[in-house]
Structure 1
Amino acid sequence: MTALVRIAHLSKSYRRGGQVVPVLHDIDLTVEAGDFLALMGPSGSGKSTLLNLIAGIDQPDSGELRVAGRDLAAMSETELARWRAASIGFVFQFYNLMPVLTALENVELPLLLAPLSRRERRARARLTLELVGLGGRLEHLPSELSGGQQQRVAIARAIVTDPLLIVADEPTGDLDRQSAADVLALLERFNRELGKTIVMVTHDALAAQHARTVVHLEKGELLRATA
């Protein structure tokens, strides 16, 4: 397999008031293309920070981080923004849907930066919603959808640009058990059938069972990876 994400000796800290608070220390991690990796650990272990670094939202203090061979630290803010829009699909715990837009319009949003006509954008968004089982909910607002349906809209929005990598931060944290199982099955299907590479932060051991690889963080240090 080909490494999509390569991390070597990565460290990250934040300044709070007059104090420097270390978050990640000397992290080495490789995510292979086509993997579904679950990043586990207790609250405050650095999971979301590592996810944000991989997605190019934040920058490490030291170490190397490459995604698809690109050194994210060498990119300008403008280059990073363009790269994220084209290469990363985001799935959040609380969906982050625009409440005044329909499901179709929410999924279409990431395509506004793509060189596509309005008709092409609409067609792709519609097909992607059908792929997640929401072909009959295209014109519904988020408030008219269940939590599980909203998260499926969020997943459709994440994959509509055909990104290199999907990053999911506690995607089932706000869902009931059945809705969570449906969302995880969907992510697993995209990984196995479409070859999508996924990095998912979760504290839920049942959610992690859907992944191919499980990585554990504790107090900012990588403990082990299991496949």
Structure 2
Amino acid sequence: MTASPEVAVALRHVSKSYTRGGQAVEVLTDIDFDIQSGDFLALMGPSGSGKSTLLNLIAGIDKPTGGQILVGGTDIATLDEADLADWRAGNVGFIFQFYNLMPVLTGLENVELPLMLTRLNRRERREHAALALEMVGLADRMQHYPNELSGGQQQRVAIARALVTDPTLIVADEPTGDLDRKSAGEILDLLDRLNTELGKTIIMVTHDARAAERAHAIRHLEKGELSSLEINPRATPSHA
């Protein structure tokens, strides 16, 4: 089964289980839905509902037990580890709750890290990293280390790192979960700008209803099963 060119991500009867104590534990059951290119989707649900597991499957960090995951027309569930690593490097940008920055590297050096897997030379890598930091409003903080930055600034560095390879898909796991309300609002403004101005497809896991309201649509996960799509009338999809 294939997806249309307008579909960024298509999940077809996806399931995921783990073995614990000799028993299979089902985390996701028959997940089947599409995410349109240029959309901004929020995934919500209680802890343990499978949100982060689903995000990791879409991003190619983990593999499903069954089903197809088509991203940009590629069934990533069939790729071996080496091909999957290459695919992730060129197609997906990751944003995490706790930033995942290297404390011994400057902001510029942290953003440059994903480019180490490319054929760019050192000067080109630095130029790309500097441009990404300018895009997130940190042109004056490039040489600062993470412990010299606020939480909101660290998350901006993490977003620049996600952007630096120019991926079509950005996955964000609780990107505002460790921030105060003001900083969280600024990060959501930035994500909205990346979606509407750059056309990035964004999938965001969040517990925060205020954050979810910034998305075009919301899906809820409950005990590994997905709810019907909720359209946010206050958000206008960039592809509309």
Percent identity of the aligned residues? 67
Q: What is the one-letter code of the residue matched to 1:53?
A: L
The equivalent residue for 2:172 is: 168
Is 1:128 equivalent to 2:128 in the alignment? no
Q: What is the one-letter code of the residue matched to 1:30?
A: D
**1:52-67 maps to which residues of 2 (within 5 A)?**
52-67=56-71
Is 1:20 equivalent to 2:24 in the alignment? yes
TM value normalised by structure 2: 0.93
Q: How far apart in 2 are the matches of 1:10 and 1:196?
A: 24
Tell me the CA shift for residue 62 of structure 1. Answer: 1.0
Q: How far apart in 2 are the matches of 1:206 and 1:138?
A: 30
Q: What is the one-letter code of the residue matched to 2:110?
A: N
2:113 to 109, 115, 126: 109
Is 1:204 equivalent to 2:197 in the alignment? no
TM value normalised by structure 1: 0.98
Q: Runs of 5+ in structure 1 lacking a partner?
A: none
For these two proteins, the number of residue pairs brought into alignment is: 227
The equivalent residue for 1:150 is: 154
The equivalent residue for 1:137 is: 141
1:188-226 C-alpha deviation (Å, 9 max, x unpaired) = 100000000010000110000111111111110011211
The equivalent residue for 1:218 is: 222
1:144-199 C-alpha deviation (Å, 9 max, x unpaired) = 00000000000000011001210000000100010000001100100000000010
Is 1:68 equivalent to 2:68 in the alignment? no
Q: How far apart in 2 are the matches of 1:164 and 1:193?
A: 13
The equivalent residue for 1:38 is: 42
Q: Runs of 5+ in structure 2 lacking a partner?
A: 232-240
Task: Please give the root-mean-square deviation of Cα atoms over the aligned residues, in Å.
Answer: 0.9
Of 112-121 and 188-197, the range deviating more from structure 2: 112-121
- Deviating beyond 6 angstroms after TM superposition, the runs of 4 or more aligned structure 1 residues are none
The equivalent residue for 1:88 is: 92
Q: How far apart in 2 are the matches of 1:121 and 1:58?
A: 28
Q: How far apart in 2 are the matches of 1:112 and 1:53?
A: 24
Tell me the CA shift for residue 64 of structure 1. Answer: 1.4
